[in-house]
Amino acid sequence: MSVQSLTRQWASASDGMALEDPRLFRQLAYVDGCWVYGEGGREEAVFDPATGERLGQVPWLESHQIEAAIASADKAQRAWRLLRADERGELLDAWYRLIRENKEDLAMLMTREQGKTLADARGEVEYGASFIHWFAEEGSRAYGETIPSHIPGAALGTLREPIGVAALITPWNFPLAMITRKAAAALAAGCTVLVKPAGETPFSALALAELAERAGIPAGVFSVITGEAAEVSKQLCDDSRVAALSFTGSTRVGRLLLSQCANSVKRVSLELGGNAPFIVGPDMDPRSGARRSGCQVPDLWSGLSGRQPHSGSRQPV
């Protein structure tokens, strides 16, 4: 990428979003430690949902570029898994500190592309970073087990080992914390990750990639793939080098991804849909329950305009 195009990209971020560090506004995919265009020239525009203003765009990577991202993650995982857990933890903690230091810029990016309030965005940056800090420490406690042997003179035990490349497909409603929650666990365990963020909210993911690079996380360990959702997800599901897939989103898409992962027998983690009643039991006064659900727990009904999995859908008494 040329110095001139980088300057234009950073200047547009500084002018439009008032970022203290305009380099956090990235409009390219991040693969194997490099910022890359889509070689087919396809791209997707990103808009401010509150104003309709076009904020920028991200490229749609072509199939051979996605294949290269998978190959680089697979190659990087061989070295990443050999690091001691505390060495991986030090890099994760450096990432955690950078996220917290850049909280205001990350919150501004999130508010502009996703639409939540700035206060909510700041809160998401804080608790999103906390996942990284927690797993940085927890990675050193991936204990095995000693098992009583039924064979005389034999010892039985288990070891926990990283499984390989993990693909993470994340939703628009929590564009930063959904990534850190999934990625931090995988990275701490010694896996490498390929993140496919929602097309509506790619800039938070790309800012995380910028900070991961600054933290010293090696090339290929944390990559962000932008592209047409069905194309990217199917290629990730079909490739046997991707050992695990984690998806948060609709039940309909979750069923499709699960079926696509079957041929390569991936480990699949799904967080699907949401159907959250606020139940008033027989030991609670109905009027008190109504007051508590509407006043003391307002986020139950109105958080993200009801577009989060635990948003209340009904209130049986």
Q: Determine the 3-state secondary structure of 55 from DSSP.
A: strand
pLDDT category at 3 given cuts 50, 70, 90 is: very low
Please give the Cα distance from 181 to 134 (Å, whole number).
10
- Asked if pLDDT for residue 12 goes beyond 50, the answer is no
CA distance 310 to 119: 20
Q: What is the pLDDT of residue 277?
A: 72
pLDDT in tens, 150-186: 999 999 999 899 999 999 999 999 999 999 999 999 9
Of all residues in the chain, the percent with pLDDT exceeding 90 is 78
Instruction: Give the residue, 312 or 268, on which the prediction is more confident.
Output: 268
Phi-psi bin for 33: left (phi > 0), alpha (psi -120 to 50), beta?
left
Q: In the predicted model, what is the mean pLDDT of residues 84-108?
A: 97
Q: Which two tokens stand for residue 294?
A: 């509407």
Report pLDDT for 288.
73
Q: Supply the pTM of this predicted model.
A: 0.85
Q: What is the pLDDT of residue 314?
A: 60
The top-scoring range by mean pLDDT among 185-194, 271-280, 286-295 is 185-194
pLDDT confidence of residue 273:
83
- Computed over every residue of the chain, the mean pLDDT equals 88
Instruction: Tell me how far apart the alpha carbons of residues 203 and 29 are, in angstroms, rounded to a whole number.
Output: 10
Most confident of 30-44, 147-161, 279-293: 30-44
- Report, as an integer, the average pLDDT of 100-108: 98
Report long-range pairs for 115-123 (Cβ below 8 Å, ≥24 apart). 115/48, 115/49, 115/50, 116/304
Sequence-distant (6+) residues with CB within 8 A of 43 are 57, 58, 59, 60
Fill in the DSSP letter of residue 104.
H
Task: Supply the pLDDT for residue 302.
Answer: 47
Read off the pLDDT of residues 118-144 as tens digits, 9 standing for 90 and up: 999 999 999 999 999 999 999 989 888
Extents of the domains making up the chain: 3-141+161-273, 275-317
The confidence band for 309, taking pLDDT boundaries of 50, 70 and 90, is: low
Measured distance CA(192)–CA(207) in Å, rounded? 18
* Whether the Cβ atoms of residue 148 and residue 154 lie closer than 8 Å to each other: no
The topology (CATH level 3) of 3-141+161-273 is Aldehyde Dehydrogenase; Chain A, domain 1 (3.40.605)
